[in-house]
């Protein structure tokens, strides 16, 4: 694709936070800034790009695209009507309409949204994940030794993950599980808490080639005493928060060649196992020297210029506009169903 090619549409979910979650809105509003950054990057190198915010009506988007046709869509949608679990439905609509779009397809987006199911698939592919249980509202609690971590089963962007998510005393397990049930209206994932280093590996597809980018690490060296070493919601999103400042990313990570190669190999295997395409990020915890566990496969990671994925692109010698050129080439190469 060249700068003289037809128009590109940048589709993103206009912020519409879920009811009762006013303290967890920044992860949604940030997508508008990402869309603006992608628009600026493409127009700076000569592309004709239009911003296409999605509110609560996908048919309205179809009307807009009839009026202003686009050769392909850059899909930045992370939710629909303020509901992250409907993220895959937007991609399914694009697919049903026969529109070319970047990023992962609806089946992968839906599967990765379900943490317990996605880890069951990873384990079936002989990929390492910490033991855990899915606890539906009203279920009895599993018999597991502490420490544990409790998360909403179907959220992303660290939603529902805070310091009290890590359980060291069994008496705290039921209240935390019930908090997930009441606040997020879904099952809770209870897993063994892996105390160790945290890494993530960005994975990039270019045509038929899939490769892992340089390994990133989240350093917890500045974490206040007594705080669990996790990337909580505050640590991920609130730049002025002490926990954000205490979780410092470093890319390339200071790791041995053996650990680097192991993480990158597992990341590519996980990418393929989950049916990913174009790009994704795989998060890890490592206990000891090389006891590796996959935390999750994120098929729609933050792709803003300041985010970890772009940091890995830079470490690999790729610029932002160049990344989007690859994504658009991939989308055009897939054609229309």
Domain's final residue, options 159, 176, 192? 192
74 and 123 both lie in a single domain: no
Q: Looking at the domain assignment, is residue 328 inside a domain?
A: no
What are the phi and psi torsion angles at 318 (to 5°)? -110, 135
CA 325 – CA 330 distance, rounded (Å): 9
What are the phi and psi torsion angles at 301 (to 5°)? -70, 165
Torsion (CA) 158, 159, 160, 165 in degrees, nearest 10: 10
Torsion (CA) 89, 94, 95, 98 in degrees, nearest 10: 160
Q: Looking at the domain assignment, is residue 329 inside a domain?
A: no
Which helix H or strand E contains 114, and what residues bound it?
none
Cα separation values, 32 from 27, 28, 146, Å: 10, 8, 40
Which helix H or strand E contains 64, and what residues bound it?
helix 58-67
How many alpha carbons fall within 13 Å on the CB side of residue 37? 17
Q: Helix and strand tally (H, E) in the chain?
A: 11, 13
The CATH number given to whatever domain includes residue 19 is 3.40.50
* 311 DSSP 8-state letter: H
262 and 298 both lie in a single domain: yes
246 and 269 both lie in a single domain: yes
Q: Looking at the domain assignment, is residue 75 inside a domain?
A: yes
Structural domain boundaries, residue 183: 132-192
64 and 44 both lie in a single domain: yes
Angle ∠(114,125,268) on CA atoms, nearest 5: 85
Mean pLDDT by 10 residues, the chain (337 residues): 72 70 61 94 94 93 94 95 92 96 98 96 98 95 94 90 95 96 96 96 97 96 89 84 88 96 98 98 93 97 94 97 96 79
CA 204 to chain centre: 14
Q: Looking at the domain assignment, is residue 334 inside a domain?
A: no
Q: Looking at the domain assignment, is residue 206 inside a domain?
A: yes
What are the phi and psi torsion angles at 205 (to 5°)? -105, 130
116 and 263 both lie in a single domain: yes
Domain's final residue, options 166, 192, 218? 192
CA 227 – CA 166 distance, rounded (Å): 9
CA 151 – CA 111 distance, rounded (Å): 16
84 and 225 both lie in a single domain: no
Number of domains in the chain: 3
200 and 297 both lie in a single domain: yes
DSSP 178-221: HHHHHHHSSPEEEEE---SEEEEEEEEEETTEEEE---EEEE-T
Sorted by sequence, the CB contacts under 8 Å of residue 306 that are 6+ apart come out as none
With the C-alpha atoms ordered 195, 196, 200, 201, is the resulting torsion angle positive or negative? Answer: negative
Which residues sit opposite 205 in a β-bridge? Answer: 210
Sorted by sequence, the CB contacts under 8 Å of residue 96 that are 6+ apart come out as none
Q: Looking at the domain assignment, is residue 337 inside a domain?
A: no
229 and 309 both lie in a single domain: yes
151 and 290 both lie in a single domain: no
176 and 259 both lie in a single domain: no
Amino acid 28: pLDDT: 61
CA 53 – CA 32 distance, rounded (Å): 8
Please give the structure tokens belonging to residue 234. 């505050």
Q: Looking at the domain assignment, is residue 335 inside a domain?
A: no
What are the phi and psi torsion angles at 204 (to 5°)? -125, 135
Amino acid 26: pLDDT: 60
Please give the structure tokens belonging to residue 274. 């989950």
83 and 153 both lie in a single domain: no
The CATH number given to whatever domain includes residue 164 is 3.30.1490
Amino acid 244: pLDDT: 83
CB 266 within 8 A of CB 294: yes
154 and 232 both lie in a single domain: no
Q: Looking at the domain assignment, is residue 167 inside a domain?
A: yes
The CATH number given to whatever domain includes residue 271 is 3.30.470.20
């Amino acid at each position: 694709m060249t700068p003289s090619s037809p128009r590109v549409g940048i589709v993103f979910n206009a912020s519409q936070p879920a009811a009762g979650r006013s303290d967890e809105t920044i992860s949604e509003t940030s997508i508008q800034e990402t869309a603006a950054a992608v628009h600026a990057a493409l127009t700076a190198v000569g592309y004709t790009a239009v911003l296409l915010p999605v509110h609560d009506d996908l048919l309205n988007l179809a009307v807009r695209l009839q009026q202003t046709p686009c050769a392909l869509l850059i899909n930045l949608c992370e939710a629909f009507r303020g509901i992250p679990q409907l993220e895959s439905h937007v991609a399914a609509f694009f697919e049903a309409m026969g529109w070319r779009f970047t990023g992962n397809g609806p089946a992968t987006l839906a599967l990765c949204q379900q943490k317990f199911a996605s880890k069951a698939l990873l384990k079936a592919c002989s990929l390492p994940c910490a033991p855990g249980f899915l606890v539906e509202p009203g279920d009895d609690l599993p018999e597991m030794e502490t420490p544990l971590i409790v998360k909403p089963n179907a959220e992303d962007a660290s939603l529902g993950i805070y310091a009290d998510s890590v359980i060291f005393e069994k008496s705290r397990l039921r209240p935390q599980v019930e908090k997930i049930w009441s606040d997020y209206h879904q099952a809770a994932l209870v897993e063994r808490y892996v105390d160790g280093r945290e890494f993530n590996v960005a994975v990039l597809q270019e045509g038929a080639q899939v490769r892992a980018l340089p390994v990133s690490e989240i350093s917890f060296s500045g974490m206040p005493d007594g705080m669990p070493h996790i990337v909580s919601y505050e640590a991920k999103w609130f730049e002025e928060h002490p926990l954000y400042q205490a979780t410092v990313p470093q890319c390339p990570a200071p790791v041995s060649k053996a650990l680097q190669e192991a993480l990158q190999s597992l990341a590519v295997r996980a990418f393929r196992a989950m049916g990913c395409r174009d790009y994704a990020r795989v998060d890890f915890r490592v206990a000891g020297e090389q006891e590796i566990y996959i935390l999750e496969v994120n098929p729609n990671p933050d792709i803003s210029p300041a985010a970890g994925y772009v940091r890995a692109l830079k470490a690999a010698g790729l610029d932002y506009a160049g990344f989007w050129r690859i994504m658009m080439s991939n989308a055009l190469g897939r054609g229309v169903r």
